[in-house]
Structure 1
Amino acid sequence: MELTRTIIETKAEEYRTQEPLYLVEQEQIEGLPGAFESGEFGWRDAEWVVRWYYRRSLGDVPNAERRAAEDRFGQNDFEMVKRVIGDAATASDVSERVSRLTTLEGVDVPVASAYLLFIDPSSFIVVGERELAVLDAAGQLPEVYPDTLSLEAYETYLERCRSLADHLECDMWTLYRALWRLGSELDDIQRVRILSSSN
């Protein structure tokens, strides 16, 4: 698979016109960064990111897994959630941001990456099986990729995505939308290869 500027633009536009969650995502991309930075957000705003991470695939994640993650997040004290998100929004280091976010119940590295997307969509991108599979198919990942749930794996992925965005002259939100659409076109074998190879 080749990732070109034309392909990225085309797939990002497909996402805009065909993905059912696009309008609410765009609204949150525009509103949540400022709210998270200022601390002017409610429980539903914080919870929405967790729900979005698991529901964006529209059924690919088993309901039991999704509900368990959402229930775990619901165990957090809201004042702690506000403090952690505020700390993550102002931290200068990726490792520190992720480490702070993963102190919350129900937030692992992939979910933390979703928070980073909505904290600063110009600098961060969410990570998941689908996005990783596209970069793997395009030869953009190391031959031996670490555990996809690790901080180190996210940092490697983020570095590659930032490099691609610079090379293709697109922003991270556009790149995410394109990767998501491209990932939907890969068959299941391609999408799980990267996960099985790391075990």
Structure 2
Amino acid sequence: MELSRSVITDEAEAYRESEPLVTVEDQHLDILPGMFADGEFGRRDAEWVVRWYFRRFLGAYPDAERRRREEAFRTNDFGTVRDVLVDLRSLDAADALDRLTALDGVDVPVATAFLQFSAPDAYIVVGAREWSVLHEAGELADPYPDPPSPADYHSYLETCRRLADAFDCALPTLYRALWRLGRPED
């Protein structure tokens, strides 16, 4: 598979037309960055990010694992969650991942969802589906490391930033195209 600006644009548009969570994602991409930065959010706003990470698979993610992770996140002290999310904009990716993964229920992939919804212009979520597209296109040398480390995410993020620049698109647009390109065959 070869990635190009037209492929990214077409797939991102197909995402917008067909993915059932697109409207709520757009709303959260608009409101969560400011809410997280200002600390003006509730527990359910933070929980939404964890739910989104797993529920975007529309039932294809193992339900027991999804519930376990969502419940684990709910056990975090909300003051701690608030402090971590408020601090994200002042941290580099490595420090942000360290702080986020210290929370119960948050591994590197879920942490990257928090990064994406806290600063969509700077970060992009990682998962096997998105990574695999880049690997198959020759943009990432190694197959998806399950689970990815912070160093793995750094490589993925730099690749995505480079591609977003090359294709003159925003990171959320690139994410949406990668998600569509990585969809299972029907």
Q: 1:11 to 1:154 in 2, by over 3 A?
A: same
Report the equivalent of 1:195.
none
Residue 59 of structure 1: CA displacement? Answer: 1.2
Are 1:125 and 1:173, in contact at CA under 8 Å, matched by a contact in 2?
yes
Residue 144 of structure 1: CA displacement? Answer: 6.9
Report the equivalent of 2:179.
180
Residue 90 of structure 1: CA displacement? Answer: 2.1
The residue matched to 1:20 in structure 2 has which SS?
coil
CA distance in 1, matches of 2:63, 2:33: 28
Are 2:128 and 2:144, in contact at CA under 8 Å, matched by a contact in 1?
no
Moved over 6 A (4+): none
Q: Does 1:81 align with 2:92?
A: no
Task: Using structure 1 for the length normalisation, give the TM-score.
Answer: 0.90
Report the equivalent of 1:65.
65
Give the alignment's Cα RMSD to 1 decimal: 1.4
Report the equivalent of 1:127.
126
CA distance in 1, matches of 2:57, 2:144: 23
Report the equivalent of 1:138.
137
Are 1:11 and 1:177, in contact at CA under 8 Å, matched by a contact in 2?
yes
CA distance in 2, matches of 1:81, 1:60: 28
Q: Give the alignment of 1:139-154 within 5 angstroms.
A: 139-143=138-142, 148-154=147-153
Residue 186 of structure 1: CA displacement? Answer: 5.5
Residue 162 of structure 1: CA displacement? Answer: 0.3
Are 1:122 and 1:171, in contact at CA under 8 Å, matched by a contact in 2?
yes
Q: Deviations over 1:107-154 (max 9, x none)?
A: 100000000000100110000010011001101102476554211111
The residue matched to 1:184 in structure 2 has which SS?
coil
The residue matched to 2:64 in structure 1 has which SS?
helix
Q: 1:143 to 1:149 in 2, by over 3 A?
A: closer
Percent of pairs with identical residues: 54
Are 1:135 and 1:141, in contact at CA under 8 Å, matched by a contact in 2?
yes
Task: Using structure 2 for the length normalisation, give the TM-score.
Answer: 0.96
Could you tell me which runs of 5 or more consecutive residues in structure 1 were left unpaired when the two chains were aligned: 188-199
